[in-house]
Structure 1
Amino acid sequence: MTQHPFYNKNDSIDFFIDDGAKVDLKLWWESLSGHIELRITDEDGNIYFTKKSSQMKNEYSIPLKKGKYKLNINSSNFTGAMVLGYKNVIKVNNFPNDNYSIISSNPSYGFQWEYILYIPDKVSKNNLLVVPNNTGIVSDNIDIHKEEAKGLVLHKSKLAKELEVPLLIPIFPRPKTHQEIYTHALDRATILTDIDELKRLDLQLIAMIDYTKNILLKKGIRLDNKILMSGFSASGDFTDRFTFLHPEIVKAAVIGGCDNIVPYKRLNGQNLPYPIEIYDYEKITGKELDINLIDEVYRYIYKGEDDEGGWIISEENGEVTTYTGKEYFNKFESPKIIENIRQNNSPIYTDGDLTDIQEKETSFRVYNGKILVDKYLLIKSIFDELNLDKSQFVVYKGIGHDINQEIEQDELEFFKKVLDN
């Protein structure tokens, strides 16, 4: 924040805190006149943190109970500059206009969760853009997932506006009480769970899409049967896996920073169940995979050259350590997998359940221990051999597990080209 001299204003940020979280603040400001007062209060106005000064350069970690809070920044006669950094905060996002709406859950129609619908002022294309939500943390507080989805729709609505298409973002949970189920990645446990509200989120999403068609039809907008999809990291997994499960309803997809399915039942002596490949595809979907349907989907699949798989927080001997996905895999998982392979080289999967470590071991065997970018390049070579040329693979130099403006611009141009084709 840098403002005109002798600045007076009261700014605020509403946010949620989940169980056991601490708010980490980095504060810096320098003033030639006046001061800044920063405070954190709960919904009843009780003060949990306050600092008032003309100069500040410090970091704070503030323990708070689960709940909703407000961070107030009061500038009084202030001439200078300020920087505020915060962590472990789920910011409350407000919609700027009526183009955004939250659609209530409708179990009778087939979906157990709310979703967000954005309709730009101008809709000239009849394909719905669908972006799966990805909170990045587990929480039993659905408001946490809702606020993250609201932040995502505010960002992705720029793409929808440019494309002149409506946008749907589900508010799927990622529950702490069932954290073995990675809902936001549409993993195997999610597909096979018998927990009613979490069962077959892919089918719940299709129900949301169908429901949206009826909403828009009443507004004079008739949608095509095929959608556009976009996802990164866990939501990239969701998008990739949804596209394989339901290729008949996907026109085009942008998929980034994740693992990717290839259309094989077996490879290198291993049976390859979902979500590695398609060994039990018929059991899940009730039909054989039609490779021609996969080939009809335009897919832009990208990876950062320096992508190490995001971050994993691990507690060891009472101390919390943060690893990249690659570091964690090499230190903890790879040695166990190598030892298992020494003891037994028969196919891991034949039928039924598959543990997380078994899934990783199967992938390790099939792709010769390669992960992340190296594995991605092997998968690209398989698609090249199968002549599935509508799946385009792109590696971005100098990019880690992240998205930059170049990637966002390429995504826009890709979708425009598909829609104008």
Structure 2
Amino acid sequence: MLRFLFFIAILISIESISAKTTNFKIAPLGQLIKVEANQEHGFNFPFFLYIPVTNTKKQNLLIVPNNTGSSITDLEEQNSITQRQALVEASLAVKTSSVLLIPGFPRPNIEPPIYTHSLSRSTLLVKDGPLKRIDLQLIKMSEAARILLKKKYKISLRQKFFLSGFSASAMFVNRFAFIHPTLVAGVAVGAPGGWPLAPLKKFKNKLLPYPVGISDLDEITNENIDLPNLKQVPFFFYIGDKDENDSVIFRDSYTKENEDLVFSTFGKKPVERWSIAEKLYQDAGLNAKFKLYKDLGHETGANTRTDVIEFFNATKVE
């Protein structure tokens, strides 16, 4: 399927729908639409919608944050990568009866780094400019998608949406769900950079600042953490037992103080920390399933994909 989708990407035909959208026809699977940035409606970057061919007029919305893997300054290149990611994720949308939304957030090459694709601390602390509160911009994108799909395609979306991500984008969806739990129907979090966000403000008398934990998340977002609604959100966390990808050691993700805190409190290796993270979520009363896949590195596989699909299909969406 993956090779097939990349082949389609090469053969893609483009026609202009309006000044704000571009339609990429991908028959017989569906179509990919690029929605341009609209500052008046609250989002400063474009996003892509993949609409599967279906007779169902009521569908889920599946949001997969974009992840380039490195900083990119050329926005056209950024959009091209995001478009290809949308095509790769199209099968997940089809198999979960969902319309897919992928935002085109840039990952700027600046110092100090702003790791937008992981919803890092520095990202949430942006006070002004195009990158201010991209989590809120993503919500505005979902609202714009809802209006467009209803008006142009006669498709109604369920109120809450799915979130899915791997690596940096897994960090994004994990963190986004903690900030906006009332919007989220379910979250699939694949190999989230070596450490899921701890659902605690303090552990063994140690404060856990964001993104290690949530001790100061309410201060960063100017909103109280909604733990009762967060407990209603199903999470599926997964990682390979040979995964050694660890964002904790990189300064675009965590400070040196964060690294020392994670290493001394939870362990020095991602897999070593996995069972500890699972217990933290269980003790906090969250609806979270953790799974460790044998002989899998920092990658997805047929088993992980199948389990993510089954997780979403088993999740009730309001």
TM-score grouping bracket, smaller chain normalisation: 0.7 to 0.9
Alpha-carbon distance, 1:252 to partner:
0.5
Q: Which has the higher contact order (CA 8 A, sep 6+)?
A: 2
Contact 1:138/1:179 (<8 A) preserved:
no
Shift of 1:383: 1.8
1:78 alignment partner in structure 2? none
How do 1:112-127 and structure 2 match up within 5 A? 112-122=44-54, 123=56, 125-127=58-60
- Equivalent-residue separation in structure 2 for 1:355 and 1:402 (angstroms): 22
How far residue 134 of structure 1 moved from its aligned partner, in angstroms, is: 0.3
Is 1:414–2:311 an aligned residue pair? yes
Q: 1:361 is matched with which residue?
A: 260
TM-score by length of 1: 0.65
Structure 2 partner of 1:227: 161
Structure 1 residues 270 and 408: alpha-carbon distance in aligned structure 2, compared to 1, 3 A threshold: same
Normalized per residue, the structure richer in strand is 1
Provide the residue aligned with 2:18 in structure 1: none
Deviates more, 1:241-250 or 1:276-285: 276-285
Contact kept? 1:125, 1:165, Cα under 8 Å: no
Aligned residue type for 2:291: V
2:86 is the alignment partner of 1:166: no
Q: Which of 8, 20, 37 is matched with 1:105 structurally?
A: 37
- Alpha-carbon distance in 2 for matches of 1:359, 1:107: 35
Q: Deviations over 1:186-228 (max 9, x none)?
A: 0000000235111111011001001111111213222222100
**Partner deviation per Cα, 1:271-320 (whole Å, 9 max, x = no partner):** 212111111122133332222211111111001100000xxxxxxxxxxx
Change (3 A) 1:124 1:377: farther
* Structure 1 residues 420 and 184, CA gap change in structure 2 (3 angstroms): closer
TM-score of the two chains, using structure 2 as the length reference: 0.84
Quick one: which of 278, 284, 287 aligns to 1:386?
Answer: 284
- Structure with the higher helix share, 1 or 2: 2
Alpha-carbon distance in structure 2 between the residues aligned to 1:149 and 1:179 = 24
Structure 1 counterpart of 2:189, one-letter code: I
SS in 2 for 1:198: coil
Partner residue in 2 for 1:265: 201
CA contact (8 A) 2:126 2:132 kept: yes
Matched residue type, 2:259: K
In the alignment, the residues of structure 1 paired with residue 198 and residue 89 of structure 2 have an alpha-carbon distance, to the nearest angstrom, of: 28
Match of 1:63 in 2: none
What are the ranges of 5 or more consecutive residues in structure 2 without an aligned counterpart? 1-6, 11-23
SS in 2 for 1:166: strand
Deviation at 1:152, TM superposition (A): 1.1
* Larger mean Cα displacement after TM superposition, 228-237 or 137-146: 137-146
1:317-350 CA distance string (max 9 Å, x none): xxxxxxxx49x95xx99xxxxxxxxxxxxxxxxx
- 2:203 matches 1:305: no
Secondary structure in 2 matching 1:217 = helix
> Any idea what SS the aligned residue of 2:290 has?
strand
What amino acid sits opposite 1:233 in the alignment?
A: S
Contact 2:160 2:317 in 1 (8 A): no
Return the letter of the residue paired with 1:237: M
Conserved 8 A contact 1:264-1:279 = yes
**Residues 403 and 301 (structure 1), Cα distance of their counterparts in 2 relative to 1, 3 Å cut:** same
2:190 is aligned with 1:256: yes
Q: Please say if 1:176 is aligned against 2:109.
A: yes
- Counterpart contact for 1:124–1:165, Cα < 8 Å: no
CA shift for structure 1 position 364: 2.5
Q: CA deviation at 1:178?
A: 4.6
Change (3 A) 1:109 1:420: closer
Percent pairwise identity: 33
Q: Deviations over 1:44-90 (max 9, x none)?
A: xxxxxxxxxxxxxxxxxxxxxxxxxxxxxxxxxxxxxxxxxxxxxxx
Q: What residue in structure 2 maps to residue 199 of structure 1?
A: 132
Work out whether residues 48 and 83 of structure 2, in 8 Å CA contact, stay in contact via their aligned partners in 1. yes
Partner of 2:274: 376
Over 3 Å counting, the alpha-carbon distance change for 1:107 and 1:154 in structure 2 is: same
Checking the alignment, whether the CA contact within 8 Å between 2:64 and 2:101 is kept in structure 1 is: yes
Amino acid at match of 1:287: E
- 2:158·2:317 contact (CA, 8 Å) conserved in 1? no
Are the equivalent residues in 1 in contact too, given 2:199–2:280 (CA < 8 A)?
no
Q: 2:185, 2:233 within 8 Å by CA — same for their partners in 1? A: yes
Q: Note if 1:154 corresponds to 2:87.
A: yes
8 Å Cα contact 2:238-2:291 kept in structure 1: yes
In the TM superposition, residue 395 of structure 1 has moved relative to its aligned partner by: 0.4
Q: How far off its partner does 1:379 sit?
A: 0.8
Larger radius of gyration: 1
The alignment yields a C-alpha RMSD, in angstroms, of: 2.5
Give the aligned length.
291
**Pair 1:125–1:416, CA change in 2 (3 A):** farther
CA contact (8 A) 1:263 1:291 kept: no
